[in-house]
Amino acid sequence: MQRGVYHVFSTAPNDATNPMFQVASAPLPNFWVHPSFFRDNTDTATDRRLNKIFRRETRSFEGLTSSATLNIAPTNVSPLPILRNEELLLLRAEARILGPSPDFAAAEADLNVVRRAAGVAPYPTGSTTAANALDRLIYERRYSLFMEGHRWVDMRRFPTRPGSPNPNNLPGRLNELPLDRPGDRIIVSFPIPIPELPPR
pLDDT tens digits for range 41-85: 999 999 999 999 999 999 999 999 999 999 999 999 999 999 999
Residue 5: count of CB within 10 angstroms of its CB? 9
Show me where the domains of the chain are located: 4-80, 82-161
Q: In angstroms, what CA-CA distances link 165 with 11, 135, 153, 175, 181?
A: 49, 16, 20, 8, 19
3-state DSSP call for residue 60?
strand
What is the rounded CA–CA span in Å between residue 69 and residue 48?
A: 16
What is the pTM (predicted TM-score) of this model?
A: 0.92
Q: Which of 73, 85, 153 is nearest to 114 (CA)?
A: 85
Kindly tell me the burial class for residue 86, based on how many C-beta atoms sit within 10 Å of its own C-beta (0-12, 13-18, 19 or more).
Answer: buried
**Comparing 8-17, 89-98, 144-153, 162-171, which segment has the lowest mean pLDDT?**
162-171
Q: How far apart are CA 100 and CA 187, in angstroms?
A: 31
CB distance 10 to 18 below 8 Å = no
pLDDT exceeds cutoff 90 at 167? no
Judged against a pLDDT cut of 80, whether residue 199 lies above it is answered with: no
% of the chain residues with pLDDT over 70? 99
In angstroms, the CA 82 to CA 24 distance is 23
Q: State the pLDDT at residue 22.
A: 92
Q: Among 18-27, 91-100, 188-197, name the most confident range.
A: 91-100
pLDDT at 28: 83
**Runs of H (alpha helix) within 45-119:** 85-98, 104-117
Residues 131-144: tens digit of each pLDDT: 999 999 999 999 99
What's residue 105's pLDDT?
98
pLDDT of residue 90: 99
What average pLDDT does the structure give for the chain?
95
What average pLDDT does the segment 169-194 reach?
A: 93
